[in-house]
Amino acid sequence: MAIMCIFFFLVASSITTTAHGQQRLSHKFYSRSCPGVQHLVRATVEEALRGDPTLGASILRLFFHDCFVNGCDASVLLDDTPFFIGEKNAPPNMNSLRGFQVIDAIKARVEPRCRGTVSCADILALAARDSVALLGGPYWAVYVGRRDARTTSRQAATANLPAPGASFSDLATSFAAKRLSPRDLIALSGAHTIGQAHCSSFRTHIYGESNVDASFAGALRQTCPPVQGIGNSHLAPLDVQSPVVFDNKYYQNLVARRGLLHSDQELLGGGWFADSVVWRYSVNQTAFFSDFAASMIKMGNISPLTGNRGEVRLNCRKWN
């Protein structure tokens, strides 16, 4: 009995604090302070996607771009001001990130019920999960308890976010810098089963490269002209088969050399391990879904602010 008690104590205490006394995220962080938050997030995302299902992809991408720059701390949501340079106009984000109004709408619903309690970083983590689930993807329990950053750096956004022209080894290096494995890289890239990219992101791939299906490239050339700077804003779906359904068709596209971005197609031919993971996901959606959920939880754990570090913003666009 005594041994059981000690065992239980160790397990229970390891859930909330690490060896450094730093608090960890937990599933229950708001269960007393804001029990309705998960429902409010879900209902607001559902409403937004009913109006425009393409917003789901944009919200999922916001979470990725938040977590890869100084951790999941809602830094990506801070607006530029004459006195503050945020991440929104860093090259990987400018004229490309969208969906901020959905996060604002969630925050506006949560604040009157739970004043100054739920961080923007957690709202983003929950909204990303709900977007995936509502579009047909997996569902997972989100760890919460993150706090919001009071600052950020445009330079960090430019340096940390992988570019569409990246090679497999560049991608693996940039994920390894966040303690994410090649398997995490391949599973998380499956986010490109939803959403769209601008011509400027895939032009080089469809004109200059050989590792792309000819008829696929030919069709894309209709929307994306070859001249730098012309038609940059034209969009194409990242998953040509089912752009607003979260499924495993992204990997089937890769096998058919129909990845939209150079970085997508790089996952195949990245060595025997990467190839075997792509092939497995392409034939087994269950395997993709469970790995994707696990990797999203890992990504969501990238250096969160906890305890009394950072703050809980009242408005996600600016610090208090």
Ligand X SMILES: *[C@@H]1O[C@H](CO)[C@@H](O)[C@H](O)[C@H]1NC(C)=O
Minimal distance, residue 48 CB to ligand X, in Å: 31
Enumerate the β-bridge partners of residue 196: 237
Q: Could you give the maximum distance between any two Cα atoms of the chain, in Å?
A: 74
- Spatial neighbors of 282 by CB under 8 A, at least 6 apart, are 248, 251, 252, 254, 255
Q: Which stretch binds ligand HEM (CB under 6 A): 18-26, 52-60, 118-126, 303-311?
A: 52-60
Query: Using CA of residue 246, residue 145, residue 298, residue 318, what is the dihedral sign?
Result: positive
Say which entry of ligand HEM, ligand X, none residue 287 contacts (CB below 5 to 8 A, set by partner kind): ligand X
| 148 is an annotated ligand-binding site residue | no
98 touches ligand HEM (CB under 6 A): yes
Indicate left, alpha or beta for 186 from its phi (over 0: left) and psi (-120 to 50: alpha). Answer: alpha
Q: Which stretch binds ligand HEM (CB under 6 A): 12-20, 26-34, 196-204, 222-230?
A: 196-204
- Spatial neighbors of 105 by CB under 8 A, at least 6 apart, are 44, 48
Question: Tokens 């956004």, residue?
Answer: 157
- The residue at minimum Cβ distance from ligand HEM is 195
Q: Which is nearer to ligand X, 74 or 278 (CB)?
A: 278
**Which of 191, 193, 173, 192 lies closest to 182, judged by CA?**
173
180 touches ligand HEM (CB under 6 A): no
Q: Which is nearer to ligand HEM, 145 or 195 (CB)?
A: 195
Binding residues among 263-292 for ligand HEM as defined by CB under 6 A: 263
**Which of 97, 303, 278 lies closest to 185, judged by CA?**
278
Assess whether 198 carries a catalytic annotation.
Answer: no
Q: Which residues are annotated as a binding site for heme b?
A: 192
Residues designated as active site: 65
Q: Which residues bind ligand HEM (CB under 6 A)?
A: 54, 57-58, 60-61, 64, 96, 98, 162-164, 166, 171, 185, 188-189, 191-192, 194-198, 201, 238, 261, 263
